[in-house]
Structure 1
Amino acid sequence: MWNAGSLTLVCTALTVLPLTGWAATERTTSCAHPSTKVEQNSTCPPDKEHVIVRGKRAGFTTPTSATHLSAQDMQAYRMQTLGDIAERVPNLSFTNTTPNNPVLMVRGLGGTEDEGPVLYTPTLIDGVPMPSFAMGQMFDFSNVDVLRGPQLTEGINAFGGMVSAQSRDPGKKLAGALDFEYGTGNRKRATFSGDMPINASTSLRLSVGGETADGYIHNRTLDRHDTGGWHGWFGRIKLLHTDSHGGEWRFSLHHMLNHGGNDYFETPEHARNHVSYNTSAGVNDTEYLLGSAQYHRRFNQHMLLDVTFGGASTDWRYSNPYSVFSANSGFTLPTRQIGGSVMLSGSAGTLDWKGGIYGQQIKRWAPYDFDMSPYYASRTTATLGTTNVAFMGELGWHFASNWRLAPSLRIEHVDSSISHWTSAMSGSVPVAYNMQESLPRQTLSKTAPLPGLKLEYNPRSTNSLSQFGWLSYTRSFLPPNYSPYGSYASTVAQPYAPSYGNNLEIGYRLGQPSGKWSVEAIGFSNFLSNLQVSATNGAGESLIGTAQSAHSRGMEATAHWKPMDTLQFSAFLGLTYAAYDHFVFGGTDYSGKQMAGTPRSNFGFSGEWHPFPGWMVNASVVRRGHTTLYPSSAVQNAPYVLVDAQIEKRWAHWNVALYGHNLADAGYFTRGLSGGYVVAANPRQLGFRVGVNF
């Protein structure tokens, strides 16, 4: 698939871990956000300082807006898909055509990755990026980190932000766990995980599981309750080895396979009640196979090395019920990618630094069929290829006791191509016609220098207060490419332009060092040009258009309070106003309109209570504001409130939990089409979970 020269250029490792560091640090204690759980016999630093990244600076002193979710958080609040996460952290949102295929948006930016190969917000598993729509169910992760805003020195280019998930490391003792879950919609989920030490320096972890559900749709035409259901399985094997020099080697192989129906598009009235009158179930099948190799080594107290290399194969087979468009419509979307990164960081005196190289090659096949014969039939094919290489570096100068200045530079080079593009359109009623077009291979290249600058304030902590503040500027970039689903050669041959952003961010954190309380406030303003947007032109072609100018501005705020050892509270607030300043496409003027899929406000509260030994009660309330639906800004989504709760009892080797998800049964939508059809989110879900450790 790739020639030897290109492969050699790419094989320098994907991305390292989500938060940047300069000085060598010990691995910190694992705590959680939003509930900030504390491990036994440990003390956690305030708020974001508990973010764990090997060889990285603690999250409290990281100059970026981030949310850290531990495995305990995801279980307590039943976050099992990226969509669950997106609804419960500030200024992260999503769109999807089915619940298992979310496409993420950060601060209003994103949504196009199922239309083209560009990722606004890369999603990483063990350092390997993949399209978020392929991720489906999450399983056996130790943590997920959400970074908001562009990231220049984190390996892969991140225009809007980054989501990085780390799988659990193998334990050093022989152990295992079984879990079973049953809930609304005849949903059954079973998982097994086990750790097996091979010797004193090597251990292995295996995790496997399966899930089946009827879904939450009642199809009255077919008199079935399983047309929105799914069944699948997932597994992971991971090896951890520590060599004689203290270097840590991690090798992991991940596989997920999910088959399901696609009975989701309906009128707003029917969708809100989870009722369908479609004439078939449709198809929604996803699969990914991902391999990752990571190496981390501390050479001394002032130098660290992180290397990651990996690849992923993702497949998405999708077709709508015939009755949605009165046509057979759908696509297959296989994607293959390989790449990696090498990152070195260190410090000397008042200076610290990091630098590295990143490379990746991606190929995606994008056929699409739309057949409403005898009136009209269309089939397009396309193969998209992208190769990018980046050199990045950052130099920090501690020019005063409490101050640090850090300029950075990323040089991104991208080669893009579209090949094997064909289009066939035909019909026999009322007049017979047949048109076929094709294009020779089209290529383009772009090199973009991306500077950044950070000013940090970090006064010495006292016994009662820690502080950290920052002001940053970042130049961001999305590479140009081609629209694979266009119907005419004249439009497909014209690539869409690269997007650029000038991004400002200011933030401040305060906290009590023992973790009793913390607060954080972050403001941002992004000035965007040639912003890439999924849109439809006057000829009905689905293309990536560019808004000449746009902006996104707002804030994130978080707070945590632990009044006693058995009780703690957390809260967040996100405000975003993301709009087009100048955007005319397909004869429609979108200038001044809010970007689709992005609520202006979202906020939430959560609490955790341990009333008795072995008992834990969690509850959260999240409100998300009014928005228009992606990609059709004509369809409205009213504000909604999500209420989740769980009560869990643990004793000896057993645990039992009762949970409720979306307890208020909020009815809202996650996708909209110009014809008025929408996709509804899942309704109220109740269930129980039983687990045993051995």
Structure 2
Amino acid sequence: MKTRHTLIAASLAAAAPVFAQPPALEELVVTAEFRSTPLLDQSASTSVVTGEDISQRAGQHLEDILNLAPNVNYASGASRARFFQIRGIGERSQFQEPLNPSIGLVIDGIDFSGLGNAGTLFDVDQVEVLRGPQGTLHGANALAGLINIRSAAPADEPSMRVEAMAADYGTWSAGIVGTGPLISDTLLYRLAVNTYQSDGFVENDFLDTDDTNNRDETSIRGKLRWLMSDDNTVDLTAMYIDIDNGYDTFSLDNTRQTLSDEPGRDAQESTALGLDWRSELGFAQLQTLASYATSETEYSYDEDWSFVGIAPGWEYSSFDQYLRDRDSYSLELRLVSDESNRLFNDSSDWVAGVYYLADREDLERNYTYLAGPFSSTYDTDTLAVFGQLDSDLSDALTLIAGLRYEERDTDYSDSNDVASDPGKGLWGGRLTLEYTLGDQQMIYGGVSRGYRTHGVNANILASMDATDDPDELEQLRSLQEYDEEFLLNYELGFKGGFADGTVLVRAALFYMDREDQQVKGSLVLPREDGSTQFIDHIANAAEGNNYGLELETNWQALDSLSLYANIGLLETEFEDYINADGEDLSGREQAHAPGYQFAVGGRFDFGSGFYGRLDVEGKDDFYFSDRHDVQAPSYELLHARLGWANDHWSLALWGRNLTDEDYYVRGFGSFGNDPRKEYVTEPYYQYGEPRMVGVSASYSFQ
């Protein structure tokens, strides 16, 4: 009997780990705020995509991971998804006009807003998506939100990692990362180099080649951390991004087989430097943030999507090229309080600062239908002051009040003798109440105000002689300028951990009220040869509103099993808006605003280093544009990964879009471009990534 009891006890002891409480989930920290803040303590709707998530999805670019974030969408019309929308707000394209982004893009503290090709992900520690206006934090370029990419920091122990990947469509990548001390306890470094190559997912039947929509992307990032003294730390970042991609994606037959005889390019070459110097002054921490970035871009395409001879008597042949050079300089000085210098009887943390940003952008457009190159210069100077006060009203209740005021001056001129130099004072802010319910649980409610600057439709001004029709001329005159847009965001949220931190929940209800909403549109004017001229412009709708829900959950169900579910619900509509065609769109949904989005999945560890991961994501249908009624159908995508890892090696077989679902990342519907059909108006679509299967491997030296 004693032996039997001993065996039973031994068996229960051996089985105990199976039923033991699984470990708590890792605490994530949001670095985009004035202070680095634990995600569960941040009173805003934010998604954090970790470096592990990026690796598990074989992510190379932002477009590979953004579907993990609720109510975040993107538009392509290029080799990559270069334009982003949060809660239904954001740009979808850029041609001749200067761009004032609604979604900020910051990489290691350097502003790349409007330059989405820079969103490569090699050696990135995490991607933070802040939803809602960031009027206090970032200003005019973050009307609807901010995407913050933070690469890995230098380590104090030496290590090196090499990575390689191979996949369908001639796709491969290779990278190397080295980090460690250059001077022990004083100077640390990190260097990451990556190259990515792919033939792309399009075959050009006319040129008999499969690489006109190729991807050729190289990124180099170097970091130094100087531990100058106990009171001073300096971080230096240098990066070089070289994107030399082809652009040949739209087919007259709506397939992955194109007929272009002059394929385009989607290229970006950027060099950037960033400084983050943090100094303890005794009464506060002084943060000095400075950056310089220069970017040369080319966006070009075969406008007719075909070849000479496809339909004699009907065809036209046209090529359009946009060459942009942009230099950006920024300087920000912040004073950030610490525990020793809180205000109002030691109850309030505070931040105060000033910010300056200078953007210098030159454009050259070469277009078949222009007598000569078009050129323009767009200079912007922004000077801002800001502050934030976090006040403890009681042990459980905190009031956050933030305010930002900026003077924004622009100077535009071009080769059509169009000139404009508008200046404006703009302000944004936030007022939020946080209430702590208990350990790791809080609710919050607040209102925030964002803004987007006004501007001039230079393309409209330059096209006044494009028609003699009195009605068309009057329409052109009415669209010469557009006003700034303001956005009020009302938000109620909950964040909390349950079951000893093995379940994390983040939820937010929001209502966004848009005033003088800026809407992208285009006029279509017929040419004598039967083709059409498109004149892009921005106009103001009277009002609009966007409201919905975001829910993100993580569950460490077992020591070997982790699950997640992210859901976004969104309703949008115009109010009192008549578009350029005279169509009343009041009550219609806004473009690129799917009614629902979801991403669910999990990872299971089989033991001995083997694991599997499964992800399913989907979106509701949505309008491609405010100009026409063509929609992207709803879709669901399945991704999977099987891998093995130990302290040094990592090997994996992975697949994205395993069911080979056809889905679209850009679409047009207001014109016809097929001379074989006498240019009848019909929809055209750009396909998203098809089924992609690959293998990845890495080795770490320590």
Residue 178 of structure 1 corresponds to which residue in structure 2?
Answer: 162
Residue 577 of structure 1 corresponds to which residue in structure 2?
Answer: 571
Q: CA deviation at 1:693?
A: 1.1
Give distance in 1, aligned partners of 2:279 and 2:604.
39
Structure 1 residues 285 and 148: CA distance shift in structure 2, 3 A: same
Give distance in 1, aligned partners of 2:383 and 2:93.
20
The answer to whether residue 296 in structure 2 is matched with residue 306 in structure 1 is no
Aligned AA for 1:197? P
Q: Among 50, 71, 74, which residue is 1:94 paired with? A: 74
The answer to whether residue 50 in structure 2 is matched with residue 70 in structure 1 is yes
Residue 64 of structure 2 corresponds to which residue in structure 1?
Answer: 84
Give distance in 1, aligned partners of 2:144 and 2:404.
16
Structure 1 residues 113 and 122: CA distance shift in structure 2, 3 A: farther
Question: What SS does structure 2 have at the residue aligned with 1:110?
Answer: coil
After the TM superposition, which of the residue ranges 624-633 and 382-391 deviates more from structure 2?
624-633
Instruction: Describe how 1:373-388 pairs up with structure 2 within 5 A.
Output: 380-388=374-382
Runs of 5+ consecutive residues of structure 1 not aligned to the other structure: 1-40, 424-437
Structure 1 residues 641 and 91: CA distance shift in structure 2, 3 A: same
Query: Per-residue displacement from partner, 1:195-220 (whole Å, max 9, x unpaired)?
Result: 14111211111111212211111222
Residue 274 of structure 2 corresponds to which residue in structure 1?
Answer: 292
Give distance in 2, aligned partners of 1:338 and 1:551.
34
Q: Among 256, 278, 299, which residue is 1:318 paired with? A: 299
- On the 8 A contact 1:479/1:499 being kept in 2, the answer is yes
Question: What SS does structure 2 have at the residue aligned with 1:169?
Answer: coil
Aligned AA for 2:193? V
Give distance in 1, aligned partners of 2:209 and 2:66.
30
Q: CA deviation at 1:61?
A: 1.3
Residue 26 of structure 1 corresponds to which residue in structure 2?
Answer: none
Query: Per-residue displacement from partner, 1:469-504 (whole Å, max 9, x unpaired)?
Result: 111111211111223433336859943210011210
The answer to whether residue 143 in structure 2 is matched with residue 143 in structure 1 is no
Give distance in 1, aligned partners of 2:628 and 2:224.
47
Query: Per-residue displacement from partner, 1:596-628 (whole Å, max 9, x unpaired)?
Result: 112110012010111113122111101111011
Residue 590 of structure 2 corresponds to which residue in structure 1?
Answer: 595
Question: What SS does structure 2 have at the residue aligned with 1:588?
Answer: coil
Q: Among 663, 668, 676, which residue is 1:668 paired with? A: 663
Residue 24 of structure 1 corresponds to which residue in structure 2?
Answer: none
- On the 8 A contact 1:547/1:583 being kept in 2, the answer is yes
Structure 1 residues 657 and 491: CA distance shift in structure 2, 3 A: farther
Aligned AA for 2:76? N
The answer to whether residue 340 in structure 2 is matched with residue 357 in structure 1 is no
The answer to whether residue 457 in structure 2 is matched with residue 477 in structure 1 is no
Question: What SS does structure 2 have at the residue aligned with 1:243?
Answer: strand
Q: Among 182, 195, 208, which residue is 1:198 paired with? A: 182
Give distance in 1, aligned partners of 2:357 and 2:93.
17
Q: CA deviation at 1:59?
A: 1.6
Structure 1 residues 85 and 630: CA distance shift in structure 2, 3 A: farther
Q: Among 613, 617, 621, which residue is 2:616 paired with? A: 621
Residue 689 of structure 1 corresponds to which residue in structure 2?
Answer: 696
Give distance in 2, aligned partners of 1:617 and 1:50.
28
- On the 8 A contact 1:51/1:68 being kept in 2, the answer is no
Give distance in 1, aligned partners of 2:508 and 2:690.
33
Aligned AA for 2:648? H
Residue 152 of structure 2 corresponds to which residue in structure 1?
Answer: 168
The answer to whether residue 40 in structure 2 is matched with residue 60 in structure 1 is yes
- On the 8 A contact 1:417/1:482 being kept in 2, the answer is no
Residue 133 of structure 1 corresponds to which residue in structure 2?
Answer: 116
Q: Among 523, 537, 559, which residue is 1:565 paired with? A: 559
- On the 8 A contact 1:609/1:617 being kept in 2, the answer is yes
Tell me the percent identity. Answer: 21
Q: Among 190, 193, 205, which residue is 1:208 paired with? A: 193
Residue 435 of structure 2 corresponds to which residue in structure 1?
Answer: 457
- On the 8 A contact 1:566/1:611 being kept in 2, the answer is yes
- On the 8 A contact 1:52/1:59 being kept in 2, the answer is no
Aligned AA for 1:443? D
After the TM superposition, which of the residue ranges 137-146 and 681-690 deviates more from structure 2?
137-146
Q: CA deviation at 1:326?
A: 3.1
Give distance in 2, aligned partners of 1:156 and 1:96.
25
Give distance in 1, aligned partners of 2:459 and 2:499.
54
Structure 1 residues 452 and 624: CA distance shift in structure 2, 3 A: same
Q: Among 163, 172, 175, which residue is 1:188 paired with? A: 172
Query: Per-residue displacement from partner, 1:300-350 (whole Å, max 9, x unpaired)?
Result: 6x8443321102112221221253273111211222111131222223422
Give distance in 1, aligned partners of 2:693 and 2:129.
27
- On the 8 A contact 2:79/2:247 being kept in 1, the answer is no
Q: CA deviation at 1:672?
A: 1.8
Q: CA deviation at 1:52?
A: 9.1
Aligned AA for 2:171? R
Give distance in 2, aligned partners of 1:156 and 1:380.
31
- On the 8 A contact 2:264/2:301 being kept in 1, the answer is yes
Aligned AA for 1:601? Y
Give distance in 2, aligned partners of 1:298 and 1:45.
29
Q: Among 464, 467, 487, which residue is 2:441 paired with? A: 467
Q: CA deviation at 1:235?
A: 0.7
The answer to whether residue 412 in structure 2 is matched with residue 418 in structure 1 is yes
Give distance in 2, aligned partners of 1:117 and 1:45.
39
- On the 8 A contact 2:443/2:492 being kept in 1, the answer is yes
Aligned AA for 2:111? P
Give distance in 2, aligned partners of 1:212 and 1:147.
31
Question: What SS does structure 1 have at the residue aligned with 2:689?
Answer: coil
Instruction: Describe how 1:249-648 pairs up with structure 2 within 5 A.
Output: 249-267=234-252, 270-271=254-255, 274-297=256-279, 303-321=284-302, 323-324=304-305, 326-346=317-337, 347-348=342-343, 349-372=346-369, 380-419=374-413, 421-423=414-416, 438-439=417-418, 441-461=419-439, 466-486=440-460, 487-488=462-463, 494-512=480-498, 514-537=500-523, 539=525, 540-589=534-583, 590-630=585-625, 633-648=628-643
Q: CA deviation at 1:53?
A: 7.3
The answer to whether residue 676 in structure 2 is matched with residue 679 in structure 1 is no
Give distance in 2, aligned partners of 1:683 and 1:377.
40
Q: CA deviation at 1:163?
A: 0.6
Q: CA deviation at 1:50?
A: 7.7
Structure 1 residues 318 and 450: CA distance shift in structure 2, 3 A: closer
Residue 17 of structure 1 corresponds to which residue in structure 2?
Answer: none
Give distance in 1, aligned partners of 2:518 and 2:479.
17
- On the 8 A contact 1:156/1:358 being kept in 2, the answer is no
Query: Per-residue displacement from partner, 1:365-387 (whole Å, max 9, x unpaired)?
Result: 23334325xxx768532211111
Give distance in 2, aligned partners of 1:468 and 1:109.
28
Give distance in 1, aligned partners of 2:176 and 2:502.
35
Residue 35 of structure 1 corresponds to which residue in structure 2?
Answer: none
Give distance in 2, aligned partners of 1:195 and 1:42.
29
Structure 1 residues 577 and 312: CA distance shift in structure 2, 3 A: same
Structure 1 residues 342 and 633: CA distance shift in structure 2, 3 A: farther
Give distance in 1, aligned partners of 2:272 and 2:453.
24
Question: What SS does structure 2 have at the residue aligned with 1:261?
Answer: strand
Give distance in 1, aligned partners of 2:629 and 2:566.
29
Residue 109 of structure 1 corresponds to which residue in structure 2?
Answer: 89
- On the 8 A contact 2:75/2:92 being kept in 1, the answer is no
Aligned AA for 1:554? G
Query: Per-residue displacement from partner, 1:1-42 (whole Å, max 9, x unpaired)?
Result: xxxxxxxxxxxxxxxxxxxxxxxxxxxxxxxxxxxxxxxx99
Residue 159 of structure 1 corresponds to which residue in structure 2?
Answer: 143
Q: CA deviation at 1:112?
A: 5.2
- On the 8 A contact 2:79/2:215 being kept in 1, the answer is no
Give distance in 2, aligned partners of 1:76 and 1:538.
45
Structure 1 residues 50 and 154: CA distance shift in structure 2, 3 A: closer
Q: CA deviation at 1:80?
A: 1.9
TM-score (norm 2): 0.85
Aligned AA for 1:607? G
The structure having more radius of gyration, on CA atoms, is 2
